[in-house]
Amino acid sequence: MIKIRCTSLPSTLDSTSEDKIGISLYNARKFSLTNGSEVKLKCGLRQIKVKIQVLPINEQNNSYIYLSSGVYEKILLPKSMDYDVVFKNGTFIVGPVIAVLLGKKLLQRYAKGLKVRESLDFYSEAGLKSGVLVYFFSLDDIDLTNKSVNGLVRIRDKKGFSYIKRQPLPVPDAIHNRLAVAKGSINDKKLIELERSVPDIKIINRITKINKWKIYKILSKDKSVSIYLPKTLRLKSSKNITDMLQEFPFVILKPVGRSLGLGVIKVTKLSSDRFKAYYHLNGKNLSIQGNIDFILDNLKKIMGRRLYIVQQGIELTTFENCPFDLRVTMQKDSSADWTLSRWYARVASEGSIVTNVSSGGRGVKITKALYPSLGSKTELTLNKIYKASLVICKALDEKIKDIGDLGLDIGIDENGNPYLIEVNFRDFKKYNDELGQEEGWEKMYYKPIYFLKHLYEEKIAKDTKD
C-alpha cells in the first residue's frame, strides 16, 4: 500500500474529455505503470477506469497524482482541496470520505447560513488539514441507487473564500453521528439499512440514546468504576425511595430515557411519614410536601409512565452559594486513545436542583468554580476527575460498540471526591459566552475526524496484509 495525495490536473494538460490520472515518471516506475495503461480509481461506492498519463513535471513532485476534470465529476469529488489516496492492488483509492450526520432542521439552518448550536465549520477545517473530504448530511439525503449522498460541503474558491454548497457527494467511508438515535427507532432502522448496503462503513456514536439504568448496570460491574457511582436502584415502588432515604439525606429521581435535566426530582425526608419533593417545570422551581404516595401521585404530570431510577443524592460543592457539577468531554484521538478535550463547571441557578444550561444553569471555568471550596486541594481533585473520567470511558468502550466521544456529568462532593451523575453519548459542543473561546476549542471537532481517519487507514492496512 502506497499513500500519496491527489490534486487537479493542470488545465494545460486537461484538454481532452478522457478520464485520466497524471503521474510523474518516478511514480509511474514506483507503481509499475506505463503511459496509456489503464487502472481503476475508487471513491466511496463509485469505481471508474482511468488512463495513466506520465507527465513532464519536476521529479520532486512525487507525493501527488493529478486527476482530470471528468474524473472529479464521475467520483463526485469537489475540486476545492487535495485528498489522500492509496495505491493498492492496482487501484487508486481516494479516502477516507467522512460525513457528519445531522438532523434535517439543523442542516437546513446551516445551509442558509443561520446560527446553529455547534461550530460545524471546524469539522470541514479538520478535513482540509488532513486531506479528507468532510461533508454534512441527513438520512434522507442518501441515494444508494446512484451511489451518492446529496450533502452539504464547504467549498473554497481559488481566492480562499468559502461557501456552503449542496451537491451529490460520494457515499462516505465513515460517519460521525450527531443525530439522536435510540435502539429500535426509525433512525436506527435507517442506519441498519445503510450498513447492510455498505458493509464496510464505519459509524461512531452509532447509538446516542442509551437509558441510564443500562449504563449503571454496565458500570457497576466494573470494580475500577463502581467507586465513582452513587447508589442507584430502579424505581419500582415508593418503598425504593423511603428505604434509600434511611441511608442518605436526599435522593434524586431521574427518568431513564430523558436528558437536559427534564423530569428530575429531588426528594428529602421531613419526618417519619412526611417528605418534600423539588422539581423544575415550565421554567419554574417548584416543590410539594406530603407522604410519599401523595407526592408521587401529584407528580404524574412530570413522571408520566416513564421508567425512573432513584439515585443517592450527592451534596455537591457550591460556587457563589449554588451547587454545581462538571461536564467533562472525553474523545478518542488520532491514535484511538481516550483524551480530555474540555471540562467546565455547570452552576445551578438559585433554587434549582439541576445544573443544565438549558434549565437555567450557567457555565463557569472549572478552576474558578473549584478553588473557592477546595483551595489547595483543587489540583488533586482535577487529577481525580481525570482518572475517573478515563476509567469510565474505558469501561463503556468494552461494552458498547463504536463510541468515539462522551460527555460525562461529574459531581464533586465537599471533600473533592468525584461521582458520575450521567453519561451523554451526544455531547453538545456548544459555545458558552462565560467560558469564552477556550484554548483548543476546535480540537473537539478535529478529533472525531482524525479518529475516523485512523480507523479507515487501519482497515486499509489490514486489508492489504490479508
- pLDDT for the residue 159: 65
Helix and strand tally (H, E) in the chain? 13, 26
Give yes or no for residue 272 having a pLDDT over 70: yes
Given a contact cutoff of 8 angstroms between Cβ atoms, the answer to whether 278 and 346 are in contact is: no
pLDDT band for 17, please (50, 70, 90 cuts): confident
User: What are 289's strand-pairing partners?
Assistant: 276
Per the CB < 8 A criterion, the answer to whether 447 and 330 are in contact is no
Which residues are paired to 8 by β-bridges? 67
Q: What is the pLDDT of residue 120?
A: 94
Per-residue model confidence as pLDDT tens digits over 390-402: 999 999 999 999 9
260 pLDDT more than 80:
no
Here the cell at position 295 is: 407526592
Rounded average pLDDT over 63-83: 91
- State how far the alpha carbon of 184 is from the alpha carbons of 157, 357, 427, in Å: 43, 29, 21
Residue 127 has pLDDT above 80, yes or no: yes
Per-residue pLDDT, 304: 86
> Is residue 383 predicted with pLDDT exceeding 90?
yes
Q: What pLDDT was estimated at residue 42? A: 95
Q: What is the CA radius of gyration of the chain?
A: 26
Q: Give me the residue label for grid cell 442506519.
A: 191
β-bridge partners, 267: 251, 277
- How much is the pLDDT for 359? 64
Mean pLDDT on 190-195: 96
- At 61 the pLDDT is 61
Average pLDDT over the chain, rounded to whole? 90
pLDDT over 80 (residue 436): no
Predicted local distance difference test score (pLDDT) of residue 194: 96
Is residue 437 over pLDDT 60? no
Walk me through the domains of the chain, giving residue ranges and CATH numbers.
2-94 (2.40.40.20), 98-209 (3.40.50), 212-228+316-425 (3.30.470.20), 232-312 (no CATH)
Asked if the model's pLDDT at residue 466 lies above 60, the reply is no
Average pLDDT estimate for 272-283: 88
Collapsing DSSP to helix, strand or coil, 129 comes out as helix
At a CB cut-off of 8 Å and minimum separation 6, what does 95 contact?
43, 44, 83, 84, 85, 86, 132, 173, 456, 460
pLDDT at 101: 98
Q: Is 140 helix (H, G, I), strand (E, B) or coil?
A: helix
Across residues 139-163, what is the average pLDDT? 89
Measuring CA to CA, how many Å separate 49 from each of 22, 140, 241, 383?
14, 30, 68, 55
**pLDDT for residue 60 is more than 70:** no
Q: Could you give the CA distance from residue 15 to residue 69 in angstroms, rounded to a whole number?
A: 9
Sheet holding 250-255, edge to edge: 232-234, 308-312, 250-255, 265-271, 274-281, 284-290
In this predicted structure, the answer to whether residue 438 has a pLDDT above a threshold of 70 is no
Candidate from 34-38, 58-62, 192-196, 208-212 with smallest mean pLDDT = 58-62
**Spatial distance between the Cα atoms of 162 and 445, rounded to a whole number of angstroms:** 18
**pLDDT attached to residue 1:** 58
Instruction: Look at residue 433 and tell me whether its pLDDT is greater than 60.
Output: no
Predicted confidence at residue 263, as pLDDT, reads: 84
Q: What is the pLDDT of residue 384?
A: 97
Is the pLDDT at 361 greater than 80, yes or no?
A: no
Position 249 scores a pLDDT of: 94
55-69, 98-112, 279-293: the lowest-pLDDT one: 55-69
| CA trace torsion 207, 208, 213, 218 (10° rounding) | 60
Confidence of residue 435 (pLDDT cuts 50, 70, 90): low
- Going by pLDDT thresholds of 50, 70 and 90, the confidence category of residue 431 is low
Residue 362 scores a pLDDT above 60 = yes
Q: Which one is predicted more confidently, 351 or 165?
A: 165
Position 117 confidence tier, pLDDT thresholds 50, 70, 90: confident
Say whether 213 sits in a helix, a strand or coil. helix
- pLDDT grade for 430, boundaries at 50, 70 and 90: low
Share of the chain above pLDDT 70, in %: 93
**Lowest mean pLDDT segment, chosen from 27-41, 303-317, 426-440:** 426-440
Question: Using one digit for the tens of pLDDT, what is the confidence trace for 232-253?
Answer: 999 999 999 999 999 999 999 9
